Structure formats: structure tokens, C-alpha cells
Amino acid sequence: MKVCVVGQGYIGLPTAALFAKNNCDVLGVDVNKEIIKDLKDGIVHIEEPGISESINNALTEGRYHVSLKPDKADVFIITVPTPYVIEDLSCDLSYVISACKSILDYLEKGNTVIVESTIAPGSTNDIIKPIFEEAGFTIGKDLYLAHCPERVLPGQIMYELVNNNRIIGGVTEACTEKAAEAYGIFVKGKLLKTEAITAELSKCMENTYRDVNIALANELTKICEKIGANALDVIKLANQHPRVNIHNPGPGVGGHCLAIDPYFIYSKAPDTAKIIKLARDTNNSMPQFTVDNAKKIIQNYTDEYTPKIAVLGVSYKGNTGDTRESPAFEIISKLQKEGYKIGVHDPHVEDESYLSLEDALDGASLALILADHNEFKDLDYNLFVDKMEDPIIFDTKDIIKDVPDEITLFNFGNLYKI
């Protein structure tokens, strides 16, 4: 089978690798010239276990090729980004529309087109389907169209693409069956067959569910700060109930899914989706909440004020280099506007301006942990004592449990003590 995967990012590249691994002839397409150039040389631009080895094996064996333009195939898979429109929070389908139009000249009767990109409910039927109908195809008869969203965890993408259950939402039953045939090549999980709009809304709701629950934990954190209770202890004890599972609070919600997908539902029914919007507003408020408390810590617990903060971690997900929609950037920007100098250290993110841990801590008033990397769970605290003016840590991810007496530790549980 020939497969053309349009978009070689966090989902498209692993998807292409898995089809190639299962003896398909795969063409990976991306508009980014640097990505295509690197992939031709076997240089993978995302940090994900197993992906580099899989791509290089496929390149060596001739099952994976890359290009700036599509080519003829049996199955076309669209995996491009879908941001939201700032004005009305609706789904920006411009990349999806462009990707669909880019394959028109290469489509043949009997082909299957699958949109994996997360899209608002109704998008497949109302916007994507007409693109192919206007090109002369009859959906469900000579062209098969489906929405099949991914549901994976960064750091485990290669495993979860294979083993997770997969939603298959066809425009018609025939479309669903054709898409299921394609994913049946490598998916070991269940193929959950449904219609396109149900698939679209299911994916959006998966992430909305998580976003709402994180917002509940974040709101609790704010309440506890005001009334003098330890939010982390409250969550720990409440979760002893057999039917309660409160999430962990954090400095904000990142990633392409949780930080964006709820808006796609809200924009379709803004007068009704009030909980969804309130949850988004709550999570969006956490960067400012983090900044406000960082300032209070510095003002109340430093002997000699120095306008430097060491930020440890900018990726939104621990042990990955994925910085999409990371709240760390908003926090850094807000702190800089407050007049603080920022020393950033992240062992998983490559940036020429980022520092070693030692240099980031040097002369800092506060070490602000924003990512739960494993490297931050086993720190050399002697560096903090030696390099910082006053060794204080503000751990927004609750990954540090014990510190030496010389170090003051704050987290989202004891903010009321500031």
C-alpha cells in the first residue's frame, strides 16, 4: 500500500514511521524545507523514543521518502496543525484546507483520505467534504473520506499509536470501513467505528474532560491560598475516596490538545458551553498566578534582592522537548516585564540562549520549576546553596519532596505561608 502523510510533525512523522515499518511505501510531506532536508539525512526534529531509529531504518530500506509536495498514493493522511481563531475561538482550518487542496491533483478513484488533525464538530462534512466533491469525486463511492483523530501521550507516541483504541469516523459506512482497513495495518487496539461528527466531538471532549479537571485542581489551589489550607494535602486526602481522582494543579495547561481543543466545542455553542469556557479561563489564569506568587516569595524571603530568576524547564510535558502552547513562555514574558532577568535551563529543549543549570542558578533570587523532567527530581542541591543569593525553590509541579535545611521550598500546597 502507498501512503502519503501530509505533515511531518509530532503525529505525522510517527504515523509515517509505523506505516513504513509495516511494509507500506510511505511519502512524508511537509511545507517546511528545513524539516524535509533534515529528514532526507535521517535527522529527526522531534524528541520521541523509537522515532529516530524507525525513520532511519525506513529510509535505509527505501520504504520512507520525503518531499515538499504530495504524490499519488492509495491512502492520504492529513496531520497538520489546527490552531484556534483568536477573535471567536473557532477552529482555524486553513492548514487542513490547504493540505486537502494540495492532494487534489494526485487523487484517483478508490483512494482514501483521512484527516487526523483535531477539528471542530461538523468540519469534515461541512468544510472538508465539499473540497473533494467540487473536484468531481463522490464521497463514499469513488473517494473515501474519514476523520480518525489520534490520542497519544508525548513520550509514548510510538507505543500508543499502535496499542491505543482508534476512533474511525467515516462520512459514510463505506468510508469508515476503508479507513479501518488502513489503520488495521498497524493498530493493535480496537478500531472504534462511528460517523465523522461523532469522532470529531469525541476527540475534542477527551481533551476538554482533562482540561476541566485540571481547572478544578487549579481553582482549589487558588482557594487554599486564600483560606490558609494546603491544596496538595487536600487533593491527596480527597483522592483516598474510591470514586474521586482530582488532578494535580500546575502553572498552566500546554500542548496542542488541552490548551486548544476545548475552544472548538465552545465556539460551536458559546451560550451553552459555560463550564468549558470557565475551565479554559481558569487554566489560562495560572501563569499570572504563578508570577504573582514568585514575586511575593522573592519580596518576603530574600535577604538581598537580586532581579534574577532561574527558570527550570520550558517544555509543557516532562521528559520531552515539546514546547507547544507551554505556559512557561507566558510566565517568562510576564516576569521579564516585571523587571526580572531570566536564566533558562531545560535539558530537553535546544536553544542557544538557554543555560546550564549552574549558570542559570548563578546569582538568582529564586529557582522556578515549570517542567517535571526527571532531571529535576534528583537535583544537586549544593549548586543551589553555592550559586544562589538565597536558595529558594518554587516547585509548580510538585516533584521535589525533600530539600536540605539551607533551602526554602514552596509549591502549590504551601503558598498560604508566603
Nearest to 100, CA basis, from 83, 120, 116, 121: 116
CA distances 265 to 93, 126, 153, 260, Å, are 14, 15, 22, 10
Q: How far apart are CA 368 and CA 288, in angstroms?
A: 14
Q: How far apart are CA 77 and CA 87, in angstroms?
A: 29
Beta bridge partners of 394: 368, 410
Nearest to 418, CA basis, from 286, 249, 291, 298: 298
Q: How far apart are CA 60 and CA 64, in angstroms?
A: 8
Output b/e per residue, 197-221; b: 16+ Cβ within 10 A.
Answer: bebbbbbbbbbbebbbebbbbbbbb
Planar angle of CA 155, 191, 4, nearest 5 degrees: 70
Nearest to 40, CA basis, from 76, 80, 77, 68: 68
In the numeric block, which cell numbers belong to residue 197? 461528527
- Is 203 considered catalytic here? yes
- Other CB atoms within a 10 A radius of the CB of residue 386 amount to 12
In the numeric block, which cell numbers belong to residue 308? 534574577
Q: How far apart are CA 408 and CA 29, in angstroms?
A: 50
Torsion sign over Cα 131, 136, 138, 141: negative
Contact 393, 344 (CB under 8 A): no
In the numeric block, which cell numbers belong to residue 90? 473557532
Which strands make up the sheet holding 75-78, listed edge to edge?
64-67, 25-29, 2-6, 75-78, 111-115, 143-147, 166-170, 191-195
Contact 348, 320 (CB under 8 A): yes
In the numeric block, which cell numbers belong to residue 323? 514546547
- Other CB atoms within a 10 A radius of the CB of residue 302 amount to 16
Number of helices and strands (H, E) in the chain?
16, 13
Q: Which of 24, 204, 224, 257 is catalytic?
A: 257
Q: Which of 129, 178, 203, 397 is catalytic?
A: 203
Which active-site residues does the annotation give? Answer: 203, 257
